[in-house]
A = this chain, B = another copy of it.
């Protein structure tokens, strides 16, 4: 899809007169959020389990079927404009309807208003407008109720009550490729190995992958069954593998045949009738074309392998949206997506996939349930917005969707109990983590903590949209809740926040969840931090975490407290442990104590576990943020900090993407090299000796700590001697 626009750009850089178009090119536009919801429905209802349709269990919303698009143009010369629409449409120029369904319109010089109104029940109403300067883009205004009535004399209403948003768009820059035709890219790939037996084939693609199986030279009459496996065991377990295709062939002449639904697998096992013949098998690899902008290399080869497999895992799960896993559920789960957002900022920095995912998750009003029905997942949605703004600086997203944020937080506020706390109500799933015996009863501290952070996010967003009253209200609510968190849950004895309150009384149960989040939310004072570190996080008698999902936050908390050496060992142990078991992508769950095929089982099914789960890819985030040490300190990397920490490595190097270019770092025990494409950064490091830098001024902050300002576009090389 992007191919065309790139070639157009190349062309235009030659023909300078057309540069105006290159800078602001026409694109298909729609009501913001509508394409995202529509595509979310399509993707999430594509899951099958052993051939049965397996849809989500929450409400799926829909696009508005009738949409008015308009923009006012002030033209110096008349302009002929081509019009394209998905749906039945009409065109008004200065409120006067043009006859029929015009495919072009000439707009006279001067100030004129162009309206296009589109109806489409099946697909998202969308338009593409292409003139010399009159083009469709996100500066157009859209509404689902234009309220343009006409009175008995023919006079048009004022439309004074109409709410307009800016149009949504993505990268549909070709009038002949409308949004409804969206497809991921594909690419033929061959298997690594095929094992043949009478009437069966076992195919190994060499690593976890995703796509459409293609049977070459298929002919004959009779049944063909394709059993997919993320493991060889799964592909061969014809009665219990999670996904399969069953065909009934009747073709006398040999023909290549591609399966209609793409699936996740490393292995496929194919069984076919004695009257059927198959020459060979290949696949069409299906993917979203996003490039790795972030990178990481270091002196530890196992860690390099971990980073590579994590990047591949995230890439496979970055599709129409950020999904949980490619075998299952292939749905958009807010808690899972939240982690993908964070990893994405250190790998692809692909903002559209973040905003698409946030919009598909949110759906529309009224709110009738928590996102994905899970209380914590509602809050991760708010946290995702907080980070999205911090990393990308995109205010317009907040301006457009602030009302949807308000209605979702209102839903939560209305469900507080008399103490102002949230408990699971009928139909609420309090998830937290897959962990044996984890209590979800009463007022779980973890939920209040996330709720508090969500209220802080609302306060931030209220400020951005200049909702002063809202900002004050959300700030007060957050402050009150944060105070309660410590009043109600802090156990001085246990040096941590306890797990829950039941009937207004704190339990004595301590878990890692609330405590580790409170560290990187910066809710703890120094003494509390140290208490939590020693008595909870580094305390083996507190229930261990067995999902990469929560290991993400556990290790982040430890990194935030400077435990990079410890975390490095943990990463090698845990993710390295999966690699030692032959993993080619990271898993939904990994318990080093399990053996053999136990690693594949979950949800009471022998192959229920996903072996390629986005939340398994967190080393990308940890290595980028806490080893290369780059993070924004104001929205969109206008300012940022670089705090390289080797954590026991001899050297490391890599790039961290920002909205307008990368920050590259090379760091050994003796030198640090830094270059940044945008913003103003501060480099923080420690040195045994006085550092030397020819390109900048290193400031001595005492206790071996140094700081240096980093200006965009310049290369810095610091000679120093790292502290242990």
| Residues of chain A whose beta carbon lies under 8 Å from any beta carbon of chain B | 38, 41-42, 45, 49-60, 62-66, 88-90, 97-101, 117, 119, 121-122, 144-155, 157, 159-162, 246, 365-366, 368-369, 373, 407, 425-429, 434, 602-605, 608
Contacts and interface: CB of A to CB of B under 8 A. Distances in A.
24 contacts: A41-B65, A42-B121, A45-B88, A45-B119, A50-B99, A52-B90, A52-B99, A53-B90, A55-B90, A55-B117, A60-B66, A60-B144, A122-B122, A145-B368, A147-B429, A152-B603, A154-B605, A157-B429, A159-B427, A160-B427, A161-B369, A161-B427, A161-B428, A365-B365
Contacts of A38: 121
B429 A99 contact: no
Contacts of A52: 90, 97-101
B154 A434 contact: no
A54 B64 CA distance: 17
A45 B148 CA distance: 15
A603 B119 CA distance: 24
A511 to B, nearest CB: 16
Contacts of A146: 57
Contacts of A159: 427
B145 A373 contact: yes
Nearest to A46: B88
Copies of the protein in its oligomer: 2
Which of A99, A161, A246, A608 counts the most B-chain CB atoms under 10 A from its CB? A161
B154 A604 contact: yes
Contacts of A246: 100
Nearest to A436: B152
B425 A161 contact: yes
A97 B155 CA distance: 58
Nearest to A122: B122
A570 B536 CA distance: 88
Given A100-B52, A147-B373, A602-B152, A366 B368 contact: no
Nearest to A98: B52
Going nearest first, the 5 A-B pairs with the smallest beta carbon separation are: A161-B427, A154-B604, A161-B426, A62-B62, A160-B426
Contacts of A162: 427
Given A53-B90, A365-B366, A154 B603 contact: yes
Nearest to A152: B434
A454 to B, nearest CB: 21
A62 B60 contact: no
A604 B366 CA distance: 40
Contacts of A62: 62-65, 121
A65 B58 contact: no
A58 to B, nearest CB: 5
A151 B608 CA distance: 12
Contact of A51 (B100, B148, B368): B100
A53 B90 CA distance: 5
Nearest to A244: B99
Given A101-B53, A604-B154, A149 B429 contact: yes
Contacts of A65: 41, 45, 60, 62
A25 to B, nearest CB: 28
Contacts of A428: 161
Contacts of A157: 429
A162 B55 CA distance: 17
A689 B246 CA distance: 87
A622 to B, nearest CB: 25
Nearest to A58: B145
Contacts of A54: 90, 97
A149 B368 CA distance: 16
A240 B713 CA distance: 66
A440 to B, nearest CB: 10
B53 A89 contact: yes
A588 to B, nearest CB: 10
Nearest to A62: B62
Given A52-B98, A52-B100, A162-B427, A147 B89 contact: no
Contact of A373 (B42, B149, B605): B149
Contacts of A426: 160-161
Contacts of A63: 62
Given A62-B64, A145-B368, 17 more contacts: A41-B121, A51-B100, A52-B98, A52-B99, A53-B90, A53-B119, A55-B88, A57-B145, A57-B148, A145-B373, A150-B603, A152-B603, A154-B608, A161-B369, A161-B426, A161-B428, A162-B427
Contacts of A66: 41, 45, 55-56, 59-60
Contacts of A55: 66, 88, 90, 117, 119
Nearest to A37: B65
Nearest to A246: B100
Contacts of A119: 41, 45, 53, 55, 60
